[in-house]
């Protein structure tokens, strides 16, 4: 029986991913702070990924019952919006604590068992906002860019143990992530950066009209089961084009174009 662990599995992409893996006959453990509506054939474990000890205990629980973990899908994350200047440093740190260090905590928890088994796959949810840094979502972009860099280095470190690393970079996806975004726009910020609210509204409109999370779940399943796993997988044909242009065109030009969009 193949075993998958999915963090941030209570909603959105994580929930769709846990559901699909279970439908495919995997033993699935969903890790999140609170269980929402229970999923069929999915076991929930309370786990806050920002707590390193909780991550170790959750993974140890899975190992106790299954003896191995084939795939980790590190998906937990959230977003904040606003200008760099007016975003509270504590808010930026809280975002990195979940999006980056939360991923690090769960990876460090599963690695000893995967190393011992000499196999396994570690999959991350990143974003096209990593290579294409989005104004007024700068800290979200920065956290995902850091995750991409971590994945590249990690792959080279653990390759000798038969473990593979993959990053899924979705474009706009229709989930509760949009409504959960933390917004702290003060009156002063509106005066200094009057484009903030309009830009964030445009982003959220794109998200609400975006792809279904089930599309990303199917990509994760392919990443988990295909023989060759590329480090980066881009979610959505249009976003593949954007990322290709980012590689081909001068970065300054790409950045100006993106800035003009918002």
Task: Supply the residues annotated as catalytic.
Answer: 10, 126, 140, 144
Cα 17 to Cα 259: distance, rounded to the nearest angstrom = 33
The owner of tokens 């996806």 is: 173
Helix (H, G, I), strand (E, B) or coil at 171: coil
Cα 96 to Cα 21: distance, rounded to the nearest angstrom = 28
Cα separation values, 1 from 8, 27, 71, 132, Å: 22, 7, 12, 39
CA 45 to mean position of chain CA atoms: 19
Measure the N-to-C terminal CA separation of the chain; round to a whole number of Å.
47
CA 107 to mean position of chain CA atoms: 13
Supply φ then ψ for residue 152, to 5 degrees. -65, -45
Helix (H, G, I), strand (E, B) or coil at 90: helix
């Amino acid at each position: 029986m193949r075993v998958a662990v999915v963090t941030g599995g209570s909603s959105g992409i994580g929930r769709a991913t846990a559901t699909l893996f279970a439908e495919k006959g995997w033993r699935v453990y969903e890790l999140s702070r609170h269980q929402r509506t229970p999923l069929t054939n999915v076991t929930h474990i309370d786990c806050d990924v920002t707590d390193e000890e909780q991550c170790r205990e959750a993974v140890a629980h899975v190992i106790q019952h299954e003896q191995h973990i084939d795939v980790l899908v590190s998906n937990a994350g959230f977003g904040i919006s606003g200008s760099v200047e007016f975003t509270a440093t504590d808010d930026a740190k809280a975002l990195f604590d979940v999006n980056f260090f939360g991923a690090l905590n769960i990876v460090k928890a599963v690695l000893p068992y995967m190393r011992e088994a000499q196999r396994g796959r570690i999959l991350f949810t990143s974003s096209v906002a990593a290579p294409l840094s989005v104004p007024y979502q700068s800290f979200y972009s920065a956290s995902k860019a850091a995750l991409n860099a971590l994945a590249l280095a990690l792959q080279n470190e653990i390759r000798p143990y038969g473990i593979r690393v993959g990053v899924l970079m979705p474009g706009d996806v229709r989930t509760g992530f949009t409504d959960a975004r933390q917004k702290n726009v003060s009156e002063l910020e509106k005066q200094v950066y009057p484009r903030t609210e309009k830009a964030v509204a445009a982003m959220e409109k794109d998200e609400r009209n975006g792809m279904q999370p089930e599309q990303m779940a199917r990509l994760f399943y392919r990443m988990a089961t295909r023989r060759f796993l590329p480090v980066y997988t881009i979610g959505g044909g249009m976003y593949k084009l954007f990322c290709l242009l980012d590689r081909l065109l001068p970065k300054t030009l790409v950045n100006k174009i993106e800035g003009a969009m918002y």
